[in-house]
Chains A and B, each alone.
Chain A
Amino acid sequence: MKPPAGGRATLLHVRLRVLSRLLLAAFLGAEAPAALGPRYGGELRVGVPDLPSSLVPGPAPGLGPRLAAGLVHETLVGLTSDGALAPALAASWTAVAEGREWALSIGESARFHDGRPVTAEDAVRSLRTFLRGPGAAAAALARALDGGAAFRARQAEDLPGLAALDSRRLALRLDAPAASALATLASPAAAITGAGGVGAGPFVPDLLVPGQRLVATAFAAHARGRPYLDRVRVTGSFGPEELATEAHAGRVDLAAGEPGLEALAASLLLILDPRRPPFDRPETRAAVAAAIDRAALVARLVPGGTASTDLLPPSLLRGPEPPRPPLEAPPSRLVLPDGSVVLAVSRDLPPPVSQRVLAHLTALGLRVRVTAMDAAAALAAPAELRLLAFAPEVPEPGLALEELSALAPSPRAALERLEEARRETDAPRRRALLAEAHDALRREGSIVALGHAPVRFGGRGRVHGARIDAAGRLVLEDAWVEP
């Protein structure tokens, strides 16, 4: 964590950090361009397929919206790569009453972009908005909080489960101990905003052209210290070929989908609507699931990916993968009703993946019309088929499975296991319940996993310190660029 920039303390801190990085580089023999270590200043240009139309906190599916949310906003807590809670605006938290009550203390250095300190009242107001908003995390927290369900359903204005204890501390009171209650606060939708929606993230937005461009400058008073970069310029509305062209031409420093940084943070999911023909027949869904040659698809079209029938990315699958029952051999051709079906494709995906799935579906005898759209629209599209790179809103297995179960009508067994897992505090038992829920969802055949795909950002190599977190979000807080 970096201290705020400015003044003697900041200068000393920077010097110490540069020195330590130099020593570390010399010890590890890091690559030559980065050997000078991080430096403040510079501008980073990022290209993404899409950008949000506003900066109001939300679930932010998609690479661009998730990046924008992480730049501008800050949540109370974060999650580490192994799923543990990490401080963010909240510096610490404690549990009492056997995990039914949680008190979170907001850090002294937490400030909004307008310089005002982040208070418990701000947090309560933001979380009340969050609880009534879309997203699986909001639904999960509302279910757990005392009075949360009624509040979310707008049946009550009182929310006894959420209160500010003083200007720096707020309390969450749960109906029962819940394993993932605090993790919901890591959702980008649970970001804390000040008056007028001002954020507390590492960058202050200077310009947002909805859906097209976001320019943000470093926030010197960020809770974890000033970012190295002076400015981030994010450009959206690129097609996949355009992104590659922009990256190769050096017009962007990091482009989505290009090799460089990558994390296996997304699942390739084909979602079949079981309420509409022809996917209302289980044998049709099974045939589709079995027809797609995952290994060939991933090997030839998803560099860095892995073929899998698991619904969640590997980072969320803890422990050894249980044995899966083999899928039935598909019929060479289905008997299908006349008419075509619509395949809604998220633009986060590489187009060849969509084309390959289309080829398989066509080979089965389906007549398919493909419509590409941004990730949020693809998630909610009323299409017979949806093809997504699913990166969960909150990279926590239980919440991710709940998010998945909301994407398509789920079997009762899966919902029951998820309900049990919510209340289970014993980690091994909870993991087993989640595995059962996962298998029940998978067997239903409405959500067909094709493999795991890396979230990738790459360019011409002058960027250091950037990373992709477990939610598939490009994190630029520690990024710096070579002069």
Chain B
Amino acid sequence: MTRPGLRRRLVLAFLLVTLLPLFLLSAAVAVFLSRGLERATRDRLEAGLAAARARFAALADRARARVAAAVADDMPALGPGDDDPILHEIARRRDLAALELLDGAGIVIASHHWPAGFGLPDRDGLFPDGAPYRIESVASGYGADERLAVVAEARGRWRGRGVVLRGGSFVDEELLGGLAALMGLEVGLYDEIRGRWTLPAGSRLGTWTRPALGAARGEVRLGDARVRWAATALCRGLLLVVAAPEAALEQTLNEVRRLALTAAALALLGTLGGALFVSGRLARPIRELAEAARRVAEGDLTVSVPVRTDDELGALARAFNDMTAELRVSRSRQAQAERVAAWRELARRLAHELKKPLFPVQLSIETLRRSLDREPPPPPGEFEALFREASDTILQELRSLARVIESFGDLARLPRPHLAPTDLSRVAEQVLGLYQPGAPQVRVETEYAQGLTVSGDAELLARALGNLLANALEAMPDGGTLRVRTLTVPEGVAVEVEDTGPGLPADQMAQLFAPYHTTKPGGTGLGLAIAQGIAAEHGGRIEAASPPGGGARFRLVLPRPKPS
């Protein structure tokens, strides 16, 4: 994995150092604030429970007082008439929304809130232990509603018989809604016996279908919101529940979080800007040094880096510049030495190549001179034969000398390539067509890829390829297989020439492309050098390989043309 750059690492380090404390601080503030708000909510729920409980106790007390007053004062005072209107009148006077008169057997004589129940047994829903809470049927539309009431009852006499007057008020939406508005909480009553809620309109507690209210407090998710609740029993089976949606708490916490995030974002931006500026100033000389070093590595010794400071980086820049200056001098000396060496080598080669035919020429001439000066003179015809032989040798050597000179001329005259889009496969096919007829003993296998276009000089490439083919065919005088193929390689495209000849000696591989290096009798040793020169002129190269089992493989690799 590539390590990030110096500047990036510097920026990350800056960010880490700056943001970590900020995040820790924000988290600590959020935690402390959350705990404080939770404590405040719990206190508010407890206070709400106490207030609501007191309100229901007050309702029971009021019902008790009003029913007692109705029995003591109203029932004796109201005269004859139908039961229903009389009961309605008592209910109006005493403000008792729930009021019913029952005989000693529990049969409803008259009912203010459920007039249809007269003459039938009272079927209110009860809570244990004589609690002052009941589920009453209440006339509603064409049917009845069941509503929770806080009631009290008192015994009295009515039309000469003992009766029970029961009355009170309903725990209606108005009552619960008023309590909820007063306390800023949701208030509800849960009837555990019948599994139903008494709630103000719109209370989300109604969506709590199976409340687990065993504990005194807790929290529950109702719809989209979390709700904290507290509960207490008004009597067995009837629970008073107050609840506070966590929305307010969550809103405060969210605001704190939002503030922390905003601060963090601003700090992040500030730190990022500062880190970029500082790291830029720190990393710039190092980057310049790295770039200069890269150029030096590529051979450009003219490069130098500016010296901006007197600190360690400035000293480093100065040392680099001194180093490149030293390298320039050193390279100049080396180039001169190499040129001298090259000239010496060329002179040596030239002397060797020129001296090689001169010796037979000299020897032939000396032989002729000795024959001419011999006493007695050779018999007639002998000198002519000797002369013919010697002159043949001299001519042959002179031709050899001329070939050497011509080869040197070729090497010197290698023209600059005229680059044009060239189909490498087509060039290979054409060149092979020239050479193949001269080697009928060789079996040829070809494999040409399509679309291998290079930017090259077709004539020069053909010459280079011809040299490779000639070498390969010459390596198989007794027959063999020549494989020619064009292909795509990672560096570009290539044409490959492979023979099944004796192969290349390992000790010759290093000198393979040196001029005048040859292993063939009569070879000039310039063929591969010329081919390599052509490849270099095209920005390519020639690779040679000789597997252990024999045979040689030459690959002319050329770059793909750059898109215009």
Contact = CB atoms under 8 A, between A and B. Distances in A.
Interface in A339-353: 343, 345, 347, 349, 351-352
Contacts of A352: 115-116, 139
A35 B114 CA distance: 44
Contacts of B115: 300, 352, 355
A354 B142 contact: yes
Given A301-B116, A355-B116, A358-B116, A345 B142 contact: yes
A175 interface: no
Contact of A370 (B114, B117, B121, B143): B143
Given A362-B123, A363-B123, A349 B142 contact: yes
A359 interface: yes
Interface of B: 84, 114-121, 123, 137, 139, 141-144
Interface in A345-396: 345, 347, 349, 351-352, 354-356, 358-360, 362-363, 368-370, 372
Contacts of B139: 351-352, 355
B142 A370 contact: yes
List the 10 shortest-distance A-B pairs measured between CB atoms, nearest first: A370-B143, A355-B116, A354-B142, A356-B116, A372-B142, A345-B142, A359-B116, A351-B142, A363-B120, A359-B117
A328 B298 CA distance: 120
B466 to A, nearest CB: 103
Nearest to B82: A300
Contact of A300 (B118, B120, B137, B144): B118
Contacts of A293: 119
A359 B120 contact: yes
A296 interface: yes
Contact of B114 (A239, A359, A368): A359
11 contacts: A345-B143, A351-B139, A352-B139, A355-B116, A359-B120, A362-B123, A363-B120, A363-B121, A370-B143, A370-B144, A372-B141
A415 B117 CA distance: 38
Prevailing SS type, chain B contact patch = mixed
Contact of A358 (B84, B119, B121, B143): B143
Contacts of B144: 355, 358-359, 370
A478 B137 CA distance: 46
B119 A354 contact: no
A363 B141 CA distance: 19
Nearest to A387: B142
B141 A370 contact: yes
Nearest to A351: B142
Contacts of B143: 343, 345, 354-355, 358, 368-370, 372
B227 to A, nearest CB: 30
Nearest to B117: A359
A362 B115 CA distance: 14
B110 to A, nearest CB: 10
Contacts, number: 53
A355 B142 contact: yes
A27 to B, nearest CB: 40
B266 to A, nearest CB: 62
Contacts of B118: 296, 300
A368 B84 CA distance: 25
Q: Name which of B141, B142, B143 has the most chain A CB atoms within 10 A of its CB.
A: B142
Nearest to A350: B142
A480 B100 CA distance: 46
A368 B114 CA distance: 16
Contacts of A362: 123, 137
A368 B123 CA distance: 14
A336 to B, nearest CB: 15
A119 B288 CA distance: 113
Interface string A443-477: 00000000000000000000000000000000000
Nearest to A362: B123
A356 B117 CA distance: 7
Contacts of B123: 362-363
A245 to B, nearest CB: 15
Contacts of A296: 118-119
Interface in A239-291: 239
A377 to B, nearest CB: 13
A372 B140 CA distance: 11
A351 B116 CA distance: 10
Nearest to B83: A300
A309 B179 CA distance: 51
Contacts of A359: 114, 116-117, 120, 137, 144
A369 B117 CA distance: 16
Contacts of B141: 239, 351, 370, 372
Given A358-B116, A359-B114, A359-B117, 7 more contacts: A296-B118, A349-B142, A359-B120, A359-B144, A370-B141, A370-B143, A372-B142
A62 to B, nearest CB: 15
A180 to B, nearest CB: 34
A362 B122 CA distance: 11
Nearest to A369: B143
Q: Name which of B121, B123, B144 has the most chain A CB atoms within 10 A of its CB.
A: B144
A300 B142 contact: no
B98 to A, nearest CB: 16
Contacts of B142: 345, 347, 349, 351, 354-355, 370, 372
A300 B120 CA distance: 14
Contacts of A368: 143
A370 to B, nearest CB: 3
A239 B115 CA distance: 18
A21 B114 CA distance: 48
A347 B141 CA distance: 10
Given A355-B139, A370-B144, A372-B142, A360 B120 contact: yes
Nearest to A349: B142
A419 B98 CA distance: 54
Nearest to B121: A363
A355 B138 CA distance: 10
Contacts of A372: 141-143
Contacts of A358: 116, 143-144
Interface string A189-210: 0000000000000000000000
Contacts of B119: 293, 296
Q: Name which of B119, B123, B137 has the most chain A CB atoms within 10 A of its CB.
A: B119
A368 B142 CA distance: 12
A347 B143 CA distance: 12
A299 to B, nearest CB: 10
Contacts of A360: 120
Contacts of A363: 120-121, 123
A93 B122 CA distance: 61
A351 B138 CA distance: 13
A9 to B, nearest CB: 52
Nearest to B84: A300
